[in-house]
Amino acid sequence: MNSKYNYEIGAVYGLKRLISLVKENGYTMAEVECVKCGRKSKVRPNSLYKKKTTSCICQAKTISGKYAKKLSGVYHNIKYRCYTPTAKAYKNYGERGISMCEEWLGDRGFENFHSWAINNGYEPGLTIDRIDVNGNYEPANCRWITLSDNVRYSNTDKRKQRRKSNKGKYYALTPTNEYIEFWNANEFAEHYGLKGARIRECCRKHRKYGEWTFGFVCDLSLEKPQSTIENHNMSE
C-alpha cells in the first residue's frame, strides 16, 4: 500500500466512504460505499485520491436527461480540481481559492448543474469556461465554448497577467540615453532600423546592441534616466 497516502476508516473521499481495508490475493483493497446511493465496491486504496473513484455512477443515473453521462464527467472534474489537493490542477484552481457555487454543490448539485448546462447551450465538444478567470464556477460566471476558443481566451488572459506584472515588456536606452519601454521587439526594430531577433538576444544575454542597451523591464534595477518615453507607440 502506498505510504504517502493516509487512510482513515469512516473517512469520505469524494462520494466514497471507506468501510475497511482487506487483503485479496496478496493485495490490499479498500471496501467503500457511496454516501449517496449506498452502492458498495472494492478499489485500490491509492485510487481514493483519484477522481475516477471519488465519484459514483449513481450521479450520472440520477439525471436521465440529455448528455447526463458526459456532463457528470465535466461536473466531477470541476469538483476534483477545486477540492482535491492531490489533483495536478489543484494549484491552478483550489489553491487559488476557486470553488463551485452552493447551488451546484448541494444534494441536488448535479441536477442543478445539468439543468443549467442544457439551458445554456451545452453540446458534446464544448468545454466549460469561466468568464472571469479569478471567479468561481457559478451560473453567472460560466459559459460553454469550443476548445479552440478556450485556449485563445486562456492565452489572452495570460498576456493580460504578463502586462500587469511587466513580464515580457522591453526597455531600451538609446545612443542619446533616452529610455523607452515597448512590448513588440519586431515593431520597435522596424521603427528604428534594427533587428528584432538581435534585440531579444541582447535582452536574454545582457549584451549591448551597438550603442543601444536593451533589457526586460521586470529585471530593471537601475533608475530610469530623466529623458523617458513610457509605452512607446510605433505609429508615431
Distance CA 184, CA 144 (A): 33
Q: Using DSSP, how many helices (H) and how many strands (E) does the chain show?
A: 7, 11
- C-beta separation of 161 from 153 below 8 A: no
Strand (E) positions, the chain? 12-13, 16-24, 27-34, 40-43, 126-130, 142-146, 170-173, 179-182, 208-209, 212-216, 228-229
The pLDDT confidence band at residue 204, using thresholds 50, 70 and 90, is confident
The pLDDT tens digits of the residues spanning 76-124 come to 999 999 988 888 888 888 888 999 999 998 778 888 899 899 888 898 8
Q: Is the pLDDT of residue 220 over 50?
A: yes
Confidence of residue 65 (pLDDT cuts 50, 70, 90): low
Compute the CA torsion angle 174, 177, 183, 187 (nearest 10 deg).
-20
pLDDT band at 235 (very low <50, low <70, confident <90, very high): very low
Q: What is the mean pLDDT of the chain?
A: 78
Output the pLDDT for position 113.
92
Specify the higher pLDDT residue, 171 or 59: 171
Whether residue 30 has pLDDT greater than 70: yes
Each residue of 25-55: b (16+ CB within 10 Å) or e? eeeebbbbbbeeeeeeeebebbbbbbbebbb
